[in-house]
Structure formats: structure tokens, C-alpha cells
Amino acid sequence: MQAHDSAASELRRIYLSVFFASIGLAYVYLIPAFAEALGADYLQLGFIGTVRSLPYMFLPAIVGYLGDRFDRSRLYLLSIFATGAAMLVLAWTRTINGIVLVQVLLGIGFSLFWPLSEALVSDAAPLRRRTAAMGTYGVAWASGFLIGPLFGGLIADRAGFQTSFLVAGIVVLMTAGASVAAIHRSGKRGESHQRGTFAKTGMGLVSNLLPVLLAQIPYGIVFAFIASIFPGYAIQSGLTPFEVGILVSSFSFARIVMFSLSGTFERFGERKSAALAFVAMALVLILIPLNGSLLALLADMCALGFCIGIIYPQTVGYICKHAPSASLGFAVGLYETIFGIGFAIGPITSGFVAQSISPNLAYLVLAAIAVSAIPLLLLSKGNSIEQIARTGKKAPRA
């Protein structure tokens, strides 16, 4: 009972840290609108989004591996300090080239923050509760992403984007300072980490989860479009920065609702739930160009939030359940790396299509990409990685 209470207390500390950090980090959703105000076109918006994603294409797996071997919690705290400092630099930026530079810094910070925080949560949660724990973790960061853009858009309307980013940087750095005292437990679990076992299970982990991991590429592409291109699209449709903040916050609120229901979808089946969410996502993307009013876009963003709120905890929880404890950080880092590949491809590809052909066509392309994830999810069988580590071969399927 005491161990259970200690684990629950540790999870609460991590959730609170992630929540407050996410309030400031959520201001990144205002970067496309800021860039558009400085004169960026669709192609430049896509490039700006891609630059932030480039470190995410390789760093998370490396960071996750290092977190398995060293003190994961200290690396996590370093990530909060790094992202907070980058937001302060953004507050002094006046050019599109300056935004690009800050995006690189934010990309490095995010490459540490997300896989390390996910690994901390999964490590502290019992195996059978990992998907539900990831749902609660999702509620924590999505709540921050709900509050952040709303206040960020309001501040940008009243005092300008630079002031908004200044506030974001202060919030993140204050969270980092508080987290130093709150998250005092080491992220290491077992000093030996079964080093010989890692080499044997590493390839087994990749081959066992490859279809689910590959499904994160279309997921990342669509998510990147929402984060990097859609706010600029909304601005060009005649919406104000505050209205864009409302849209993004509604997207985050919808995610929170579905994150809180992650245990229910887990019982239905993680892969099946995610596949159905991709179907719904494709339908919504097709509908977006039909009406550019605030009310219609609000409904669309809520629907997309519902879909992503299903996909994220189910897939990452599924991966964490099938990762051995000695390689947990590597598993979530691999997930984030592959997601980062999609996140890097999404903005530049959709931005090019929107700029050179038509913004409406970009939505149809994204819908087709979302559908491509469905067979990948249904192909995955999820053999036990722990069994692979013990036997050196795949467990027989039931």
C-alpha cells in the first residue's frame, strides 16, 4: 500500500509539472499567426513548422536511450529550462529568420521534454495501468495547451505577440524552478538495466511494434498541419488572433475529454480505437474547406481534437505496455522520433500544396494520409517484448 501511495504521489508531481510547463509551451500555436503577421506565406509557414520538427526526427530515441541509462528526471528538468529560454528569445524576435532560429531551439527542447516526461509517467505507473496513466498525462498537458493559447491570443491582441511569448517564457521557467524541488526522485530504475538484454530486445521491440510505430508518421503529418498551417489558414480566412486562440483551445479541450476516457477505449482495444479515430479524422479534414466560418471551424477543430485524443494515449500506452522496463525510455523515444518524422514532413508538404496549388487540396491530401494509418494499426499483433527478451523469439499468437 505504501509503495502504491508513493507511486501515486510521484505521478501527481509529474502531472502537475507537465501541466504548468504546457501552459507556456502551448504558445507555440501562436507562432504561425505571428509569422503570418510578419508577412510569411504558406510555404514559409510550412518551412517554419518543419524546422522545429527536424531535431525530433532523431533526438527523442537518443534521449530516451540516455534516460534509461542515466537520471531521467534531471534530463527532464533540463528540457523545461531549455524550452523556457527559447520562448524568451522568441519574445525578442522581429523577423521570420529569427523565428526559424528559435524553432530549432524549441525543437531540441521538445525532443527532450516529451519522451522523458512520457517515460517518467510510464515508469511510475503499474504495467496494466500504463494506458490509463498516459491518458491522465494527456489530460495534464492538454489542459495546459487549452489554457495557454486562449490567454496567449488575448495577450497578443492587447499587447502584441512579443509580450505574449515573454509571458510564456516566464511561466515555463517558473515551472522549471518549482519542478526542481517537486520531482526529486531519480528516473533510473535498476542500475544494471540488463545491458545485455537491451541488445537482444532492441530489435525485437522495433520489429514487434513496427506497424504501430509507422502509423505515427501519418498521425504526425496531420497533427503538424493543425499546429503549423491551420492557424495561418484561419488568419487568412479573416479570424483574429484571439479567435485563433479559441479554435486551438477548443481543439485542446476536445483532446482532454477523450484523454479522460482513455481507459474506456483501452477496453475496446487500443489498435481498433485508434483506427476508428483515423477514419473520423479523414472525414473531418474533407469537410474543413466547405465552410470557413468561426462556428464551422470550431466544430471541425473539436472533432479533430476528439480524434487525436483517442489516437495518442492508445498508441503510446500500447507501446509502453509492450516495452521492457530496461528499454522503456528507448521505446517512447522511438515513438516520438517516428512521430517527429511525420511532424517534419507535414508542414512543408502541406504548405507547398496549399501555396502552389490550393489550400483546399491540402485537406484532401491529408485525409488520404490519415486513412493510410488504418491498415498499419490493424496489422500489429503486439507480441510481448518481455517474452522476446526471455526466449529470444516471438511468443506464439493466441
pLDDT in tens, 131-140: 888 889 989 9
Residue 398 resides in a domain? no
What is the C-alpha to C-alpha distance for residues 354 and 345, in angstroms, rounded to an integer?
14
Residue 311 resides in a domain? yes
Q: Which residues of the chain have pLDDT under 50?
A: 186-200, 384-398
- Other CB atoms within a 10 A radius of the CB of residue 92 amount to 11
Q: What is the DSSP letter of 27?
A: G
Instruction: Look at the chain and report how many structural domains it folds into.
Output: 1
Q: Give yes or no for a contact between 120 and 325, defined as CB atoms under 8 angstroms apart.
A: no
Which residue is listed with cell 502504491? 4
What is the C-alpha to C-alpha distance for residues 341 and 81, in angstroms, rounded to an integer?
24
Residue 1 resides in a domain? no
The pLDDT score that the predictor gives to residue 189 is 47
CA 378 to chain centre: 22
What is the C-alpha to C-alpha distance for residues 154 and 166, in angstroms, rounded to an integer?
14
- Other CB atoms within a 10 A radius of the CB of residue 263 amount to 15
Residue 3 resides in a domain? no
Looking up residue 311, the CATH number of its domain turns out to be 1.20.1250.20
What is the C-alpha to C-alpha distance for residues 216 and 220, in angstroms, rounded to an integer?
6
Residue 109 resides in a domain? yes
DSSP string, 174-211: HHHHHHHHH--S-S---SSTTHHHHHHHHHHHHHHHHH
- Other CB atoms within a 10 A radius of the CB of residue 322 amount to 22
Residue 296 resides in a domain? yes
Q: Which of 28, 268, 72, 62 is nearest to 171 (CA)?
A: 28
The pLDDT score that the predictor gives to residue 169 is 93
Contacts of 180 (CB under 8 A, 6+ apart): 77
- Other CB atoms within a 10 A radius of the CB of residue 316 amount to 28
What is the C-alpha to C-alpha distance for residues 266 and 312, in angstroms, rounded to an integer?
12
Residue 189 resides in a domain? no
Question: In Å, how far are 182, 203, 260 from 4, measured between CA atoms?
Answer: 18, 33, 21
Q: Give yes or no for a contact between 14 and 124, defined as CB atoms under 8 angstroms apart.
A: yes
Residue 232 resides in a domain? yes
What is the C-alpha to C-alpha distance for residues 352 and 357, in angstroms, rounded to an integer?
8
Provide the domain limits for residue 58. 8-184+197-391
Within 13 Å, how many C-alpha atoms sit on residue 80's CB side? 28
Q: Which of 346, 330, 89, 50 is nearest to 226 (CA)?
A: 346
